[in-house]
Structure 1
Amino acid sequence: MNNRIVIITGANSGIGRAAATKFAEEGYHVIMACRNLEISREVQKQIVEVTKNEKVELMELDVSSFASIREFCSQFWNKFDKLDILIHNAAYLNHGEKVYQLSKDNIELTFATNTFGPYLMTNLMREHLAKSEDPRILHACTTNIRHFFDTKRKLELDNLHGEYKDSQPYNVYKRYGDSKMALLMLTFKFAEEFKEAGIQVNAIQIPAVKLSKETIKKLSPFFRVLAWMQHPFATSPESMANIYYEICTSDKFRNITGKLINEYGQIVKVSEYGTSFIEDIKQFKDKRVYPKYADNEEMKEIIWSLCKNLTCNKFEVKKIQH
């Protein structure tokens, strides 16, 4: 009997839903960590019906909120003694958004959801992960970080609290790429920090993925057209869910940590391409390499310190007394 427990954030749609279904099919105890419970309850019911696995639970979690993360972890600790797999799948990317958004903690919403939230949750779950015989963490990254092949591209961290929201244009796609590059840097840093505890930390490079008709309808007319154009060539959520499962369970990745892995299950390495125009084109098309910027030790330390400072005094969460 499979007694392994997996938490999947954002498990009510897209890749998250497909991953929850895949792990449930394989007999895992699945924790769907979702913000919208009304929508998620129906998804949970459907996954249970399809997989015949009753061990699919729904727990409320808003990854952009430190209070919500602390409450989620507190409830989890009171119910479970260990955690085997933590998949940070939830992400914020509101296509076409032009208005600067702040989280409940007064942090730019993209970074709060995609970077700082996962950092806090991972630290809170460290002890429970350490109790697993084979603990693994997976960060959902993106091919958007490949724009950092442009040597002029840098992480912008000076407007995280809306300091310049009225004077600087808001580009949700750049924010998304920056937050995911920061998450990749955290992947490398967490792998170092958690090595002695035997906890493996990797990231998956997600390409363009097929969107549901419901999601496409929510897009602006321009992005709706783009979504339909890329649809025939995009990767399916089910295909990505299979890669999630392989990275988090297979012997192939059992001793692999601190790596970026693409949709083909290949370990992505830092780019060694030259600086000519032709070389730039080649490296941008090569999904086996990532930008050198991700290995910038100074920036990794800046991101790590920033996460630590923003979430300070947030690691202590007492178990609920019944």
Structure 2
Amino acid sequence: MILSIIFFLIKSLCCISIAFFAVLILIKIWLKLNTPMCTCKVRLDEKTVVVTGSNMGIGFETAKTLARRGARVVIASRNEVRSRAAVEAIIEATGNPRVEYKPLDLSKLSSVKQFADDFNKHYDRLDVLINNAAFNGFGHVKTEDGIEKVMQVNHVAPAYLTNLLLDKIVGSKPSRIIFVSSGAHNTHAIDPDDLEGRKPVNIWTKYSNSKVCNVLSAKALAKCVPEGVAVNSLHPGVAKTELYDMVPWPLDALFNFVLENVCKTPEECAQTTIHLACSPHLERVTGQYFNDLEVDKTHPSVTDELADRVWENTIALIEDRTRRYKN
């Protein structure tokens, strides 16, 4: 009797495992058949591009492709060792020597200010700014600026960086500003009056809130910049990147297996960003949210009113926390 039960359980487990892996294989095949790649052949030889968080993952693939098209690419990241290795790898892969590293730590608004001051002083143009860097993590962690870390790294600091570089972007038009958001924005519970994160929320909601702010930033900023500056956001897709390293044991093994073997690759996830940065057909398209190279729907709450409110509150928060940097 006991042996029969054991054999039944083993047989059931085998059947479930086979079904599970069959589903994963079908998903992988579907993704391969339905993941569009940017096919535009535009060269970027006279362009300067900044890609934040581009020393690995999706940002690295984005920077590499833009460098291959001839752009001067600035790797704006926190980890110097990893970033310098990324610069060398991109130069070797593309033959383009105009790839550089500039330190940028989005968890410190002082670092954002230092990066922007240095860039504005030493670079004569900025054709494409790609706010790609992202962070997630457990706990309610505040930065030295008194802002919840996920919201600062993913939203507040990129907004600050964009504002500090805006004159250079406008002076280089036609130019583009790109916010790498996420489909996770659809599950947000944003409080536009608590962008600094006074009230703790769970790890998923923190990330979702920061990502809807990316979408809202693009929507609001698109109405403020002059004609010739396109501002858009996007969902890159899901791939195995450092962003998912916080998955706890024992789920991490299964999670990483699925990410590595089923989901999109970082190169595939970079395609919509590359499309927004390069396609001549998108020069006048602004204030939109993209997915798989096409304009996509956002959460119904993403309205002009909410976008304006979040952007205004973000600028007010930045001004409050950066008064000491003003002359």
Contact 1:25-1:53 within 8 A present in 2 as well: yes
Which of 203, 208, 211 is the matching residue for 1:180?
Answer: 211
Q: Do the aligned partners of residues 317 and 56 (structure 1) sit closer, same or farther apart at CA in structure 2, a change above 3 Å counting?
A: farther
User: How many residue pairs were aligned?
Assistant: 282
Which of 138, 142, 149 is the matching residue for 1:102?
Answer: 142
Question: Does 2:190 align with 1:155?
Answer: yes
SS at match of 2:232: strand
Aligned match of 1:282: none
Structure 1: distance between partners of 2:300 and 2:255: 29
Task: Specify every segment of 5 or more residues in structure 2 that has no aligned partner in the other structure, as ranges.
Answer: 1-43
Which of 267, 279, 284 is the matching residue for 1:238?
Answer: 267
Specify the code of the residue in structure 2 equivalent to 1:39. Answer: R
Aligned match of 1:16: 59
Structure 2: distance between partners of 1:246 and 1:6: 14
- RMSD of the alignment, in Å? 2.4
Which of 175, 180, 195 is the matching residue for 1:135?
Answer: 175
Q: Deviation per CA, 1:218-251: give whole Å up to 9, x if none.
A: 6422133123124333111112223222211111
Aligned match of 2:120: 77
Contact 1:216-1:224 within 8 A present in 2 as well: no
Q: Do the aligned partners of residues 25 and 197 (structure 1) sit closer, same or farther apart at CA in structure 2, a change above 3 Å counting?
A: same
Aligned match of 2:289: 260
Structure 2: distance between partners of 1:218 and 1:164: 21
Q: Output aligned runs, 1:283-298, within 5 Å.
A: 289-295=297-303, 297-298=304-305
**Structure ID, larger Rg:** 2
SS at match of 1:49: helix
Identical residues among aligned pairs (%):
25
Contact 1:190-1:201 within 8 A present in 2 as well: yes
Aligned match of 2:32: none
SS at match of 1:311: helix
Which of 200, 203, 209 is the matching residue for 2:230?
Answer: 200
Structure 2: distance between partners of 1:218 and 1:108: 17
SS at match of 2:178: strand
Q: Do the aligned partners of residues 139 and 163 (structure 1) sit closer, same or farther apart at CA in structure 2, a change above 3 Å counting?
A: closer
Task: Specify every segment of 5 or more residues in structure 1 that has no aligned partner in the other structure, as ranges.
Answer: 149-153, 269-288
Q: Deviation per CA, 1:152-188: give whole Å up to 9, x if none.
A: xx313566556455xxxx4121100011111111110
Contact 2:195-2:314 within 8 A present in 1 as well: no
SS at match of 2:181: strand
TM-score (norm 2): 0.80
Contact 1:209-1:237 within 8 A present in 2 as well: yes
Q: Do the aligned partners of residues 164 and 201 (structure 1) sit closer, same or farther apart at CA in structure 2, a change above 3 Å counting?
A: closer
Structure 1: distance between partners of 2:319 and 2:204: 28
SS at match of 1:128: helix
Q: CA deviation at 1:317?
A: 7.3
